[in-house]
Amino acid sequence: MSLTTKLGDDFLCIPKLDAAGTNWVVYCDHFLLSIDARGLREHLDGTGEAPINPHPVPLDGSPQTLTAEQKVAVAEYVKANKVWKQEEAVIRQQLASTIPDTLFLKTRLLPTVEAMWNALEDNFQVKSCMVSVDLRRRLQEERCAEKGDMQAHFSKLRLMQEELSSMGHPVDNAEFVRNRQ
């Protein structure tokens, strides 16, 4: 799929990443699906590389005479490099519009979107685990007050269960019921 193919905004809708990272797993999945839909995954996973100029300008500033074949190779490099930079910009913009501003300011000067993505993963994989451990503990400790509203209590428990699932740490129904006894 080329970048000129227009995909609807709804099709590529990505939730905004919560600053606390509580929706990291869902955000990550949506973001990667969006990037895959554009055919740009190699920018994030390190399997793609920016084109390399086959005949760079000499560092000493001396004049360089290129053959016709070398000129064609340089022209192809210029085209490929333009596409690469445009693809990087698309992903960078997608990240910038879906992460908190404070995080964007920390990552915006990284040289590639792969470096930006790795910084996000490093930050939120750990946060996601810590938040989910705390949420699982609170779920296990949650009890309905004597003569409390059971419907509200179970709604709260179900919400906690869904939050854990969205963080990539689902609580199956058997464990959920076991914790209620």
User: What digits encode the pLDDT tens for the residues 149-162?
Assistant: 888 888 888 888 87
Identify which of 99, 92, 162 has the alpha carbon closest to the alpha carbon of residue 132.
162
More confident: 7 or 88: 88
Arithmetic mean of pLDDT, 18-23: 83
Establish if 66 belongs to a structural domain.
yes
Residues 6+ positions from 127 with CB-CB distance below 8 Å:
20, 21, 24
Q: Any idea which of 1-5, 34-38, 91-95 has the lowest mean pLDDT?
A: 1-5
The answer to whether residue 49 sits within a structural domain is yes
Measured distance CA(94)–CA(112) in Å, rounded: 13
Domain that holds residue 116: 24-131
| Number of domains making up the chain | 1
The answer, as to whether pTM is greater than 0.75, is no
In a domain, 181, yes or no: no
Between 9-13, 53-57, 118-122, the lowest mean confidence (pLDDT) is in: 9-13
Site of tokens 């908190």: 100
Taking residues 32-44, report their average pLDDT.
94
| Contact status, residue 87 vs residue 3, Cβ threshold 8 Å | yes
Domain-located, residue 69:
yes
